[in-house]
Every structure is written in C-alpha cells, then in structure tokens.
A = this chain, B = another copy of it.
C-alpha cells in the first residue's frame, strides 16, 4: 500500500536514488517503509504541472472546489484505521490523538468547503460608473480576491494530519484556487503518502486538473529550498521552528520576485498570574497548568512555556503545588528521537543558565524518546538580563518568573519577543487595575486569554493564530481558521469590464447571491 514514492500530480514517481526511513518512537525502531527522496527533476515537474493547473483551477467555481475539498475529506476517512495506525507508528501519538487530529483535519476541509461555497470570502466590491460626474466621469470598478498561484506547503512535525499534507495550509490554498505542492515532513512520510493518495483520488473523482496537488519526500533541506526558489511558486506556508521558518523567509526575500512566506514558528505563550488569583486559588491554577504544560508531551506551539507572577505567599503556593502536581503526570512519547534529543539539549542548556532553579521534574526511568517534564523558576531580574531564557524549549518544560513587583512584571512582558498567545489569570476583576499589563501583553501576542490555558486552538472564524515576529513571519495573517485563506489571495480590479465576461461574483445579476459592497453599501441585491 505504501510505496515510498512521490506524487507528481496524479502520478507516483521515484526517479531519485536516495531513500530514507521513518521512525517509530514508541517501539524505538525504524519503520519498514523505504521512502524515496524527490529529485530536482521532480521538483521542476511538480511545479510546471502546478503552474499549468493554476490556469484552470484558479477559475473553477467555489461550488466545484467545495465538492473537491469534501471528497478529500471522504477519501481520508475511507483510509480507515490503517491510516491511524501508520500515523501512530510515525509519531508515537496514541490512537485517541490520531482520531482527534483526523477529525480536526476533516473539519477544516469541510469548513473551507462551506466557506467558499457561501462565497463571501472573495470580498466582492462594486463601484458603478457615473458617466455624468463632474469634473471627470467615473468609471465602473469591480474588485474581488483571486488566487495567487502555486503554493508550497511544508508539513509540520507536530501535526501529521492537521498541519501537514491535507492540513490547514493545504486546505486554505486549495480553497483559494491555488495548486499545492507539499514538501512532506520526513518524520511522517508514509502518513503523508497515504493522505496524498486520498487527495489524488479526490482530484480524479471530481475532475480537477492534474498538478493541482503534488507531494514530495525529502529528509534534507535541498528540495524545500528548490521549491521556495522556483519562479513559478508564488507563496509558502510553513509550521515549525524559528530557524527553519526564518531560513525559508530569507530565501524567499532574496528571490528576484520575492514571495510571501507565512511561517508559524515558536512561541513560549506567557501566562500572567495576577496577585488576587494567586491568593485565592493558587492550587487550582497549578493543577490546571501541570496538565497544560505536559499535554501532548508539550509538543504544541501554544504550550505555556513561561509563567509570570509577583512574589507572594500565593506565588509560593502556586510554585509548590505545580512542583507536586507536575511529577504526578506520566511522561509520554515524543515524536522522534531527534525531537526528544533536542528537548534534552535545550532543557539542559536552560537549566545551565545562571540563576535558573529546577523546581521539580519527573525523575523516574522512562522508555526511550519519552520526555520527562520539568518546571523551573527564576528571578525577574535574571530573566530580564538573559535572552536565552526567552527562547522556547519545545517539549514539556516551563519557567516560572518570580518578579519583585508589578512594575517588574510589566517590564518582563514588554521585553518578550512576539508570541502566539498570552494569558491573564485574574480574580474578582483585579484585571481592571492592571490595564498596563494587559496593554503590554496585547502588543506582544496574537491572542489573549482570560482565565484559561493557551493549549487548545479552536478552529473557528474568530480564532487568530499568528502573532508578532517570531511567533509568525507576518502577524497580519492567521494560520488557523477560514481567514487563513487570505494568505493566498490578492485583490483584483476590473475596470469597465463587460458584464457577461465578469466572474459570477461581480456580475450585475449576482448569480451567486453573495454579499457585496455596492457603492460602499453591503448588499446581496442585484444591480439594475
């Protein structure tokens, strides 16, 4: 069933001569499948096919694209339990997570299908002509969003379904009308091939052009670089490390024609514990956070890596409870020996920083590739003076910053890099007194949470997942939710264009029945 080959459009292809294997971190052995690296030739073929497919695919109706996306979802479901087993064998994630993430992935595909079927996303705007206007006649102008062109999507290590082959980036780009070339993540290449086979089946069943989707395997960086540099590629979606995302951003910025790279990268997701909350319920908060820190072995971009409070009896209670609770949790398996290894290295490097104290950590023996969680503490002053402590340790690691006073706490927040999320834990409306802290936190994050945890990213229109750099390369776009389609479109204006030749979204008759801005008023009415 799994061939280890690439999909160049609808064709399986393996012209390269290098192979690699994926790894089962739970069993601590290589998986059996032999994956063939894509060749430069295959990069060119996939890109040419995508460029050709763009000509027709970008013009296909929202209705047809919606059928395509829903068929992808059906075909993924039709892969059944085997897909879940392959997923688990390449990620170490348990079956429950596999099912949950598959559900989320199918949900994303269907949400985009609904979104483009409804059709309002094109932001249609019409300004009708005024031939008699003084001093100059006014022309007829009509504007809507159109697809950018072929998009390269890099699969994420930590979401083999939801942010990989047919994940959020792919769904958004396909919904926009952009062909997609996936650079499959090497840690779950077999999962990627299976999901790709479902996409290709959907391409064929719904009559989409060959080349609207390709899937390339690679364990190194060359294939990804070649894709980003290819002149026919018009945008890039990436989820992963700051180093990886920045390297792609830099490559794309150096092109003769620079292209947008949306990279969703690291984040330590600061959590601010306000004094009264600490006084009233330090223990409950600590219990909740012990769970959030270790969820999925801490392998979430919204993992709370930084907790900040002012020194007090409450903070001491919090820290003590967190220390007690965190060791109760059974460690779980990380995605890959490389990720487990990086966790150990980064953890050791953090712990070696002067002034950082280990509060508690799981110390029993564990299976290979299992992550032992650690919580640490540091003084506010020390944190402020050591940028290393501001960096993400990807895994079940958290740092509690103990500030001298509320001013220092504000200082700590103001000096953070950009983050995906920030959380305020508050009691009895004490937050009202701390508007400076809230403001400082808002300036550093893309989403702010009241009395909750940052883990758990709801997929809905009001979710913004993206923050000031380095949380993402462009804070003006989200990586989650239907608005992520905006990364892959550009507005386009028609001037005095004949009505019968306009796209349906802009025709006088409004055949799609969508909401449009007509002479600056929103309406679904036709133009008479």
Contact = CB atoms under 8 A, between A and B. Distances in A.
Interface of A: 55, 59, 120, 125-127, 136, 138-139, 141-143, 146, 148-149, 249-250, 253, 257-258, 260, 417-418, 429, 431-432, 438-439, 442-443, 446-452, 456, 458, 460-464, 466, 468-470, 473-476, 478, 483, 486, 489-498, 501, 515, 517, 520, 522
A55 B439 contact: yes
Given A143-B464, A249-B253, A257-B468, A492 B458 contact: no
Contact of A490 (B120, B439, B446): B446
A447 B490 CA distance: 11
A447 B493 contact: yes
Contacts of A136: 456
Nearest to A461: B125
A466 B148 CA distance: 13
A492 B464 contact: yes
Given A253-B250, A495-B447, A515-B522, A127 B458 contact: yes
A112 B496 CA distance: 25
Contact of A127 (B120, B417, B460): B460
A141 B450 contact: no
Nearest to A522: B515
Contacts of A450: 494-498
B458 A139 contact: yes
A522 B493 CA distance: 24
A36 to B, nearest CB: 33
Contacts of A463: 127, 141, 143, 493
Nearest to A516: B462
Contacts of A249: 253, 258
A448 B418 CA distance: 39
Contact of A492 (B418, B442, B470): B442
Contact of A493 (B59, B429, B464): B464
A500 to B, nearest CB: 9
Contacts of A460: 127, 138, 141, 520
13 contacts: A55-B439, A120-B522, A127-B463, A136-B456, A138-B460, A139-B452, A143-B462, A257-B418, A257-B468, A447-B495, A449-B495, A450-B495, A450-B498
Contact of A491 (B141, B142, B143, B476): B476
Contacts of A125: 461-462
User: Closest 9 CB pairs between A and B?
Assistant: A253-B253, A141-B462, A464-B493, A447-B493, A449-B495, A127-B462, A143-B462, A125-B462, A475-B490
A272 to B, nearest CB: 14
A489 B476 contact: yes
Contacts of A458: 127, 138-139, 141
A446 B145 CA distance: 11
Contacts of A492: 442, 446-448, 464
A451 B496 CA distance: 8
A505 to B, nearest CB: 12
B475 A148 contact: yes
Contacts of A257: 417-418, 468-470
Interface centre among A257, A451, A475 (most CB of B within 10 A): A475
Contacts of A429: 498
A448 B476 CA distance: 27
A491 B466 CA distance: 9
Given A142-B462, A461-B517, A496 B452 contact: yes
A11 to B, nearest CB: 26
Given A139-B458, A253-B249, A495-B447, A431 B501 contact: yes
A257 to B, nearest CB: 4
Nearest to A103: B135
A498 B448 CA distance: 12
B476 A446 contact: no
A490 B473 CA distance: 12
Contacts of A146: 442
Contacts of A141: 458, 460, 462-463
A120 B497 CA distance: 28
A419 to B, nearest CB: 12
A478 B491 contact: yes
Contacts of A489: 476
